[in-house]
Amino acid sequence: MNNIDTIIEHAEQNCKSHGSRLTTKRKQVLSLLAQTDKALSAYDLIDLFVKENGEKIPAMSVYRILDFLEAEHLVHKLKLANKYIACSHITCKHEHGVPQFLICSVCNAVKEITVNKSTINELNQSVEQAGFKLVSPQLEINCICNECLATAS
């Protein structure tokens, strides 16, 4: 059983365990996201979907499916890039904290990292001092990955 199948399997269990359904379409979309480390836009997914499954899918459906997958914590929406990525912890058992993302602004590669708790706390202090409350410490940081950096130079 390969990695993708494992992920889908876990995702399906995950959904079942609280009464939601990972339908065929949802599996297909999740599968597309799980097969890459790049962030994909909804319209990227529409194109990919046709290529992989030889079948069209409406924009509306993709957005609905992405909303569902996000609510299930199976994908993350990167607001900075208006793109989506599979959660890299689907097959983990432990509760995972709030993710931080590094987004390569050249190739859209995304890395989900865990920032030091203390760093986040410090950040939170700055926020509170300014009279705001953190909604979610999800950070999305514009970067260049080492590969693109090497290619460019």
Instruction: List residues near DNA by CB under 7 A.
Output: 20-21, 23-26, 41-44, 56-61, 63-65, 68, 82
Q: DSSP states of 85-107 as a string?
A: EE-TTTT--SPP---EEEEETTT
Q: Find the binder of a copy of itself among 5, 13, 122, 151 (CB under 8 A).
A: 122
Instruction: Give the span between the Cα atoms of 73 and 89, in whole angstroms.
Output: 9
Q: Find the binder of a copy of itself among 105, 108, 151, 153 (CB under 8 A).
A: 105
Instruction: Give the span between the Cα atoms of 4 and 106, in whole angstroms.
Output: 26
Reference 85, options 131, 121, 53, 45; nearest CA is 45
Asked if 59 interacts with a copy of itself (CB under 8 A), we say: no
- For a copy of itself, the closer of residues 50 and 71 by Cβ is 71
Residues lying near a copy of itself in the complex (CB under 8 A) are found at 79-80, 100, 102, 104-105, 111, 113-116, 118-119, 122-123, 126-127, 129-146, 149
